[in-house]
Amino acid sequence: MAKKATIEMKERARKLRELIDYHRKLYHEKDKPEISDEAYDSLLNELLEIEAEFPKLQTLDSPTVRIGGAPIEKFKKVNHAVPQWSFDNVFNEEELHDWQEKIERILAKQDIKNNLSFCAEHKIDGLKVIITYKNGQFQIGATRGDGVVGEDVTHNLKTIEDVPLRLTKNIDLIAVGEVWLPEKELKRINDERSKKGEMLFANSRNAAAGSLRQLDPKIVRQRNLKFFAYDIDLFDSQNEKIKNPTTQTEELELLKTLGFVVNSNYKECRNLKEVIDYYNYWHDKKSRLEYGVDGLAIKVNEIKIQEVLGYTAKAPRFAVAFKFKAEEATTVVEDIILQVGRTGVITPVAKLRPTLVAGSTVSRATLHNEDEIKRLDVRIGDTVVIQKAGDVIPDIVNVIKELRTGKEKTFVFPKKIPECGGDGSIERIPGEAAYRCVYKNSGRILERKLQYFASKHAFNIVGLGKKIIEKLMSENIISSYADIFTLEKGDLTGLEGFGEKSIDNLLNSIKAARTVTLSRFLISLSIPQVGEETAEDLAKHFGTLEKIKEARFEDLEKIDGVGPVVADSVVRWFADSQNKKILQDLLKEVTVLNEDKKQKEKGKLEEKTFVLTGTLENLSRDEAKEKIKKLGGKVSNSVSSKTSYVVAGSEPGEKINKAKELNVQILREREFLKMVS
């Protein structure tokens, strides 16, 4: 039976918690310690002893929580309440101005006149995490993952001193920030790993990511990770008297008020000239910082304008990463190889002598196509200058011809390569600088097509990843899309890596994937030039697969976002006899939901336009939008005479006044939920 703590012991524990937290903030946030590290550790050890003797005295926000508990077996998956986006990149002033002009065109279409201001922040080279608080208490922390699903790293985030376990206000909040590792810590960790004969971390970002994915939180605590908060995804002030921030800079100030550590290197800029000046200032001084920074995050400052601009399929329109100039290094081209993509296009790649550039070791660089090889006059054995811009594969900038010895070999595109299957023939793509396989279903191409077919963008067959597909192909179990859906337990039993549970899980995933939307079906087919957005455009325009199969070039070309190149590719693909057989076999196994059928089944909000304002209690804004769209409705960012309803959450903005002015019906959350249920 657990011992019962005395009143004096309870009070001692409470005072210790307050005192330790006070000194922690002085040390980590203000860099003004009042006591020695030894004295601080002594206070912490006393609290640990008290809580070990009386476990009920440990609170959720006790400093001892940061010590780290027992190791976990594996990371759980977390569905993000708010989708997590990546920024588009710009690399020079011209691209930055192009971005602003694009924004202004969008605003002009909405009849919004605004002198844009911007918030420029350091783009920290770390690991993005999303932390959820309920009533001011830390609940769960997750990695970004694919933007929809991340990994639960709560146990590790709690060990980071900069992450508040309790906010200064009892509010609900989803905060976004960056976990990073100081350069001096990277050196210390690598020194220790070197002594143990372990592989060294290439840079601080890799070390931060590797540390946060440790299964033992005690190891994480020893790494001394840091955290900067920089964004608010969801904010509910509850009964606290806190105003919703109206600008990005106000958002950063609110984060500081709530107890987060916010990077002080941000600036409100009245125009792009001030943004560029700030960029130039830090470009020359970034090496003096204790954290890695690869550019500036530039955001439209006014949150109302951010909401109007919204998002593309991949990134916010209101923000962009202004990357610092790419770092360069020299190395030697050891070979030039050819890689075959899922559509059969062949890309030449330079195998390099491994070298460190932009903080990471690289051993290859893209050469794009034959014309680029000729333009650079790059040869096997050449010394070259490579540059790495962002997290992409490096480019060869130029060849240092003065270092040639005469032994360098000129690369000539072959007429055949084994990866193309059949007789291995390759051909130049008409009107392009690229080559492709003549035989479109070689083993390598088919392997990549099958991987893409099962990916989350297409059929989303959980558990059917790259290695499983490689295994099933090597065993001659699958060789087409349709083969996936004919798999039975006996086909997999006895295969290395397949236990009874994993077999059942995979077969259940395949069964669940037999019904697919038209747009996802089009994505899955690997039709050249047809990506996610084009597939959605085709599905919405034609409604059924039959109509798309029968579409003429002229019909396709007229669709906004398609154009002649895509139109030609679609017509050719559906006319090909091999592809007709692929479709025939596949359609015997799966059901494709027609776009028009979905509208008839779920179209009660068809021709209705909604505008959302304020914070909804039971739904995120993205969830509300999804419900409207599924029922055939549209979502707009601004109120006009064409608006059917304005959905008002807590602390709504000016859209409410506009709705009243135009006599647009205003729905409270309860009314809206009834409408979409």
Residues known to be catalytic: 123
150 and 80 Cβ atoms separated by less than 8 Å: yes
Long-range contacts of 536-540 (CB under 8 A, 24+ apart): 537/561, 537/562, 538/562, 538/570, 539/595, 540/595
Q: Provide the b/e sequence for 67-99 (b: ≥16 CB within 10 Å).
A: ebeeebeebeebebebebeebebbbeeeebeeb
Burial of 198 (0-12, 13-18, 19+ CB in 10 A): exposed
User: d(Cα 68, Cα 430) in Å, to the nearest integer?
Assistant: 61
User: d(Cα 162, Cα 29) in Å, to the nearest integer?
Assistant: 8
Task: Assign 515 to helix, strand or coil.
Answer: strand
Which residues are registered as beta bridge partners of 251?
none
DSSP string, 14-76: HHHHHHHHHHHHHHHTSS--SS-HHHHHHHHHHHHHHHHHSGGG--TT-GGGGG--SPPSSPP
DSSP string, 571-595: HHHHH-HHHHHHHHHHHTT-EEEPH
Q: What is the 3-state secondary structure (H, E, C) of 167-224?
A: CCCCCEEEEEEEEECCHHHHHHHHHHHHHCCCCCCCCHHHHHHHHHCCCCHHHHHHCC
Nearest of 466, 426, 475 to residue 447 by alpha carbon: 466
φ/ψ region of 11 (left if φ > 0, alpha if ψ in -120 to 50, else beta) reads: alpha
Task: Assign 111 to helix, strand or coil.
Answer: coil
Q: H-type helices in 393-463, by residue range?
A: 443-454
181 and 292 Cβ atoms separated by less than 8 Å: no
Tell whether the torsion through CA atoms of 274, 280, 285 and 286 is positive or negative: positive
Nearest of 123, 125, 120 to residue 292 by alpha carbon: 125
Long-range contacts of 311-318 (CB under 8 A, 24+ apart): 311/85, 312/88, 313/532, 313/533, 314/85, 314/86, 314/88, 315/85, 315/86, 315/87, 315/88, 316/85, 316/87, 317/102, 317/103, 317/106, 318/103
User: d(Cα 268, Cα 248) in Å, to the nearest integer?
Assistant: 9
